[in-house]
Amino acid sequence: MTSLLHVDSSACLAGDSVTRRLTASFAEVWCRRHGTSGYRYRDLAADPVPLVSHAYTTLGRRVERHGVVPLARVAAMAAGPAEEREWALTLPLIRELLAAGTVLVGVPMYNFTVPAALKAWIDRVTFPGAYVDPATGISRLRGTTVVVVAARGGAYGPGTPREGFDFQTPYLRTYFRDLGVAEENLHVVQAEMTRAGDVPALARFRELGDRSLAEAYAAVSALAGEGEGDRAFPQALGARP
């Protein structure tokens, strides 16, 4: 079944959040095309993922010493109630990610990087060996499409004064690639200068911000309108830096 996991991480409510509006636009187009039965939504700000604990890292190290362990065997390796609780919190999130044909992630830039709510989710779902097929050694996310929808109050693209301050999209590209997502299946849509309309110091860039947002809406609509099965996601959408 065609499926979409929609993840938002902005602390702002929908009306104030550029990433929430953009991901909602993607989801609307996607559901209109594929229906809602395969749609799953996770709001990391409204329903935060607990930070990993000592019990989580202890269990993870124990599992890692045994190589690639099938998910069904991890519970039996938990030593005590604390580790059992950590795995009970973790396994549903991993399964949710593995079940998705497309993963849509809304990511505002907070202090040059990703929100803590998203980082907590990343830290928990990235359990040792969870995305490696034990039989082949190939990533189970190789065929998964990931769409990162990023927003930044200023400008951080090539040639801008703050180009080197962007620890948001390079981090996410590196993370999902390392998890095994194929390069051709990883898409980043960026809206820049989103604060130009309300921050006086950025007012002169309002036209640039409006144009960037319009391009982002066009990009998410085009990406959502393409089917997962045909592997025909467009590459020339202005969605890559």
CA 210 to chain centre: 24
Per the prediction, the chain carries an average pLDDT of: 92
pLDDT(115) > 70: yes
Spell out the domain ranges in the chain: 4-225
Reported as a pLDDT band with limits 50, 70 and 90, residue 206 is very high
Q: How high is the pLDDT of residue 227?
A: 41
Output the known binding site: 10, 109-112
pLDDT band at 142 (very low <50, low <70, confident <90, very high): very high
Please give the pLDDT value at position 192.
Answer: 96
- Can you name the CATH fold of 4-225? Rossmann fold (3.40.50)
Note the pLDDT of residue 14: 81
Q: Which residue has the higher pLDDT, 119 or 15?
A: 119
The binding site for FMN comprises 10, 109-112
DSSP output for 201-241: GGGGGHHHHHHHHHHHHHHHHHHHHS-TTTT---S-SS---
